[in-house]
Amino acid sequence: MNYLPLIALSELPENSGKSVRQGQKSIALFHYDGVVTALGSSCQHMGGDLGQGNVQKLDDGELYVVCPWHGWQYNLKTGLAPAGYLDRQAVYGVQVLDGMIFISEEPLIPGFRSVHEDDPLADLRNLEYKVTPSSLNVLGISTTNMNRDLPRPSTSESALEAALDFAATGFGASVRMIRLRDLEFRHCEGYYSRHEQACTWPCSISEMDPDDGMNEIYRAMVLWADAVILATPIRWGNACSLYYKMAERLNTVQNQITVNDRVLIRNKVASFIVTGGQDNVQGVVGQLNSFFTDLGFTFPPFNFVGWSRGWIAEDTEHNYERFNRSRYVKRSIRELVTNTMNLVIQVKQIDVSRLQTPKPKISEAGTLSQPEDNP
Ligand code: FES
């Protein structure tokens, strides 16, 4: 096997690692315990640069590099993932001669990505949609938070329950309610901010933790629903914090458009219920509309029911009762559902096999070295 010169040993001090290009290849070099080792730099998972990873000793006493994108680990010498995993990073031969690091022209041990037979995310990965030409699946998402052991009345949630009831009885829809407070799910951990390809579908967190509660939202919203009705209270002029926690985790859906020009949400309708003791229904609905249109949803005319009693109405002990007695609320919920269902029926007829997505794409973005194209 030929060995080719790569870099001087002085460029790789003890206790460091870095990736270096050799022709078309990128090699991750490590210098630990007085030994230089070399792995293929592109992680078997999604291509994270191992040369930028931290190195740590695991329980088996061996040194492993931790991929900076999602934490996969590889033994610095053998390329193997820790016990229990079959994945392996390509291992190159290393010779140090006259202060120069030489690398074998080809890997001595090839890389290997194991195939997991019982992939718990296969339905999401393969986009196994549950909608059919005739389905009328309505997903209610209640974002309000409360103590499960000490529940309180919620205007937004009771309106959502009434909306789902009417969708079922008035339109024969299959309905499902998800209360975000019942799901244990992690905050978005910002993998996109490290690299656009590090924010994956299914979500990087789902891959690490198939029991993460957001998987229920992904399955229900992306694969099952024809319509989503989301209900939120107003908190300090905005939607409630659980909504934002969910929205940040939906970056995995929107990012597929940006990075891969792939639209996961098609032929789906969204409408909203926004209730607050005080004000800013329109501001909250504006935010919801902006985000849901970025995901690919379509809106019926007049796609929200709003309730607020104004700036000086701190009448919280009577608010729920007033809400429940309101003829406006009862009528507008039925009308919201009617508009939503009518649009669902029409939208399902539209061929969106190739949706136009006038959104920024990575392929069109400028870089520091290559400025954006101007018309
Ligand atoms: S790309 Fe390396 S762990 Fe995901």
pLDDT greater than 60 at residue 240: yes
pLDDT at 371: 56
Place of tokens 């990965």: 125
CA–centroid distance, residue 299 to ligand 1 (Å): 37
Nearest to 231 by CA among 141, 147, 330, 165: 141
Share of the chain above pLDDT 90, in %: 83
Number of domains in the chain: 2
Question: Which of 60, 83, 109 is the C-terminal boundary of a domain?
Answer: 109
Residues 146, 286, single domain; the answer is yes
Is 184's pLDDT higher than 90? yes
Q: What value does the mean pLDDT take over residues 140-153?
A: 95
pLDDT at 325 over 60: yes
Residue pointed to by tokens 């934490």 = 71
Q: What is the mean pLDDT of the chain?
A: 94
> Does 265 lie in the same domain as 209?
yes
Whether 287 is covered by a domain: the verdict is yes
pLDDT at 120 exceeding the cut of 80: yes
Domain shared by 168 and 297, yes or no: yes
User: 3-state DSSP call for residue 361?
Assistant: coil
- Chain centroid to CA 364: 22
Detail the DSSP E strand segments found in the chain. Answer: 3-8, 16-22, 25-32, 35-40, 54-57, 63-66, 73-75, 91-97, 100-109, 137-142, 174-179, 227-235, 238-239, 269-275, 304-307
The answer to whether residues 141 and 31 belong to one domain is no
Q: Answer whether 48 contacts ligand 1 (Cβ < 6 A).
A: yes
Average pLDDT over residues 349-364: 84
Identify the pLDDT of residue 295: 97
Residues 147 and 94 in one domain: no
Let me know whether 311 and 350 are in one domain: yes
Is there a single domain that holds both residue 103 and residue 170?
no
Q: Is residue 86 in some structural domain?
A: yes
pTM for the complete prediction? 0.89
- pLDDT (0 to 100) of residue 368: 56
Position 151 scores a pLDDT of 92
The domain boundary, picked from 109, 133, 159, lies at: 109
Cα 353 to Cα 38, 211, 267, 347, distances in angstroms? 45, 31, 10, 13
Average pLDDT over residues 163-189: 98
Whether residue 51 is predicted with pLDDT greater than 90 in this model: the reply is: yes
> Which domain covers residue 317, as residue numbers?
122-356
Query: At which of 63, 82, 109 does a domain end?
Result: 109
Residue 356 pLDDT class (50, 70, 90 cuts): confident
Query: Crossing angle, helix 251-260 and helix 281-295, to 10 degrees?
Result: 50
Q: Is residue 34 part of a domain?
A: yes
The pair of three-digit structure tokens given for residue 95, joined into one six-digit string? 């010779």
Task: Compute the distance between CA of residue 63 and CA of residue 153 in angstroms, rounded to an integer.
Answer: 55
- pLDDT tens digits, 32-47: 999 999 999 999 999 9
Torsion of CA 293, 251, 226, 289, to 10 degrees: -30
* Distance separating alpha carbons of residues 312 and 187, to the nearest angstrom: 34
Q: Which of 19, 41, 42, 45 to mutate to test the pocket of ligand 1 (most atoms within 8 A of CB)?
A: 45
| pLDDT exceeds cutoff 70 at 370 | no
**256 & 318 share domain:** yes
Nearest-atom index, ligand 1, CA of 200: 4
Name 89's Cβ contacts closer than 8 Å, sequence gap at least 6: 39, 40, 43, 44, 50, 74, 79, 80, 111
Q: Is residue 159 part of a domain?
A: yes
The C-alpha angle 324, 330, 332, rounded to 5 degrees, equals: 130
pLDDT score, position 255: 94
pLDDT for res 245 = 98
Output the six-digit token pair for 290.
């902006």
Same domain, yes or no: 184 and 327: yes
CATH number, domain with residue 7: 2.102.10.10
Residue 306: CB within 6 Å of ligand 1? no
Please compute the mean of the pLDDT values over residues 232-256 and round it to a whole number.
Answer: 96
Placement of tokens 């096997």 in the chain? 1
* Residue 162 within a domain: yes
Whether residues 103 and 174 share a domain: the answer is: no
Average pLDDT over residues 68-97: 95
Two tokens, residue 327: 């003829």
Task: Find the 15 Cα to ligand 1 centroid distance in Å.
Answer: 22
CA distance 205 to 137: 27
Pocket perturbation via mutation, ligand 1, pick of 19, 42, 64, 72 by most ligand atoms within 8 A of CB: 72
Residues 190-236: tens digit of each pLDDT: 999 988 889 999 999 998 899 999 999 999 999 999 999 999 999 99
Same domain for 171 and 315, yes or no, is yes
The answer to whether position 368 is within a domain reads: no
Q: Which two tokens stand for residue 128?
A: 């196994």
42 domain residue, yes or no: yes
Check if 194 has its Cβ closer than 6 Å to any atom of ligand 1.
Answer: no
- Provide the CATH number for the domain around residue 230: 3.40.50.360
Q: Which amino acid is at 181?
A: R
Q: Are residues 96 and 192 in the same domain?
A: no
**Domain annotation covers residue 349:** yes
Q: Which residues of 64-80 are buried (b: 16+ CB within 10 A; e: fewer)?
A: bbbbbbbebbbbbbebb
pLDDT of 137 > 80? The answer is yes
Q: Is the pLDDT of residue 116 over 80?
A: no
Query: How close is the Cα of 28 to the center of ligand 1, in Å?
Result: 14
Indicate whether 369 pLDDT > 70. no
pLDDT digits (tens, 9 = 90+) for 13-24: 999 999 999 888
What pLDDT sits at residue 100? Answer: 97
pLDDT of residue 352: 84
